[in-house]
Structure 1
Amino acid sequence: MTAQDSASIYKFSATGIDGNPVSLSTYKDKVLLIVNTASQCGFTPQYKGLQALSDQYANQGLVILGFPCNQFGQQEPGNSDQIQTFCEINFGVSFPLFQKIKVNGSDAHPLYQYLSKAVPGILGTEGIKWNFTKFLVDRSGKVVKRYPPTAKPEDLVKDIQALL
């Protein structure tokens, strides 16, 4: 691992929605938007906007990574098959989804422990406040910005374009 990798998300891996391990180094040289998602949340319609971003910018190097999470109001109760089917049928999601993870607490996924520390939220808080918190990562794997759940995917276009 190079010094650059140790300060990037590329040292992490996660389990894809299909159960297979995925190294985040797979996404080297891509701009990433990492989002904790849920199927029964008031922000769930953001899947549509996330898919629109993916459709518009994938060929320029943007990859959206969706991490379902059931920590907020039990709003992601399904298993991986149910989550994937819901996302495909209701929002046409084709960007990579992963198996359900925790984003807060001592058993939070290591990627989210890293993201939360790399770019703290309001007043320096590290914890994820709710579903659809978003992290923008540049082509070198550096976390550059954190967005609250209320930030709509279309509101991120200018920042995404700047990194592409």
Structure 2
Amino acid sequence: MSERLQPGDTAPAFSLPDADGKQVSLADHKGRKVIVYFYPAAMTPGCTKQACDFTDNLSLLTGAGYDVIGVSPDKPEKLAKFREKENLEVTLVGDPSKEVMQEYGAFGEKKLYGKTVTGVIRSTVIVDADGKVERALYNVKATGHVAKLIKDLELEK
């Protein structure tokens, strides 16, 4: 089981391919806060809802100094289809090896319909402008999560 990150930890560096196959790294966002969210699979109902919620609130988040990066185990081709189908504006990157997810504590044992399975743990990690973990939220709900995040960060419209 991967260790969960705690506030004050240095956020693990990563460089992953986006929906267009271009490398996106955490270092590209130095000086800005980054919301890195982990989700199980593109084009599934919960993950679609979450990605659409982030897209719907993207101008509010970026206006408050936050960039948003969604990470799933999907390949860039699937991410591109997902982005086009749902008109997503958030940056989506793929982690097929699940290495980054493990470093962030977003992959491991979880409960699914009462059974213990190994998989992606829906998580959100907020990284501050200096690359440190500000908040690490695990087992978040797909629905309502973005609204709760905005409230918790005191960014309400």
Q: TM-score, normalised by structure 2?
A: 0.67
Q: Which residue of 2 aligns with 1:61?
A: 65
Overall identity of the aligned pairs, in %:
19
Contact 1:34 1:136 in 2 (8 A): yes
Q: Which residue of 2 aligns with 1:82?
A: 78
Q: Which residue of 2 aligns with 1:135?
A: 125
Q: Aligned-pair distance for 1:148?
A: 2.1
- Show structure 1 runs of 4+ deviating over 6 A: none
| Pair 1:159 & 2:152 matched | yes
Contact 2:50 2:146 in 1 (8 A): yes
Q: 1:149 aligns with which of 100, 117, 140?
A: 140
Contact 1:43 1:132 in 2 (8 A): no
Q: Aligned-pair distance for 1:65?
A: 0.5
Change in Cα spacing, 1:160 to 1:66, as seen in structure 2 (3 Å) is same
Cα RMSD for the two superposed structures: 2.9
Mapping of 1:110-129 within 5 angstroms?
111-116=100-105
Contact 2:16 2:95 in 1 (8 A): no
Q: Aligned-pair distance for 1:40?
A: 3.8
Q: Aligned-pair distance for 1:53?
A: 2.6
Match for 1:101: what amino acid?
Answer: P
Q: Give the number of equivalent residue pairs.
A: 133
Q: Aligned-pair distance for 1:128?
A: 8.0
Structure with more of its chain in strand, by fraction: 2
Q: Aligned-pair distance for 1:50?
A: 1.1
Q: TM-score, normalised by structure 1?
A: 0.65
Mapping of 1:3-22 within 5 angstroms?
8-9=10-11, 11-22=13-24
Match for 1:57: what amino acid?
Answer: L
Structure with more of its chain in helix, by fraction: 1
Q: Aligned-pair distance for 1:115?
A: 1.8
Which ranges in structure 2 are unaligned for 5 or more consecutive residues? 1-8, 111-116
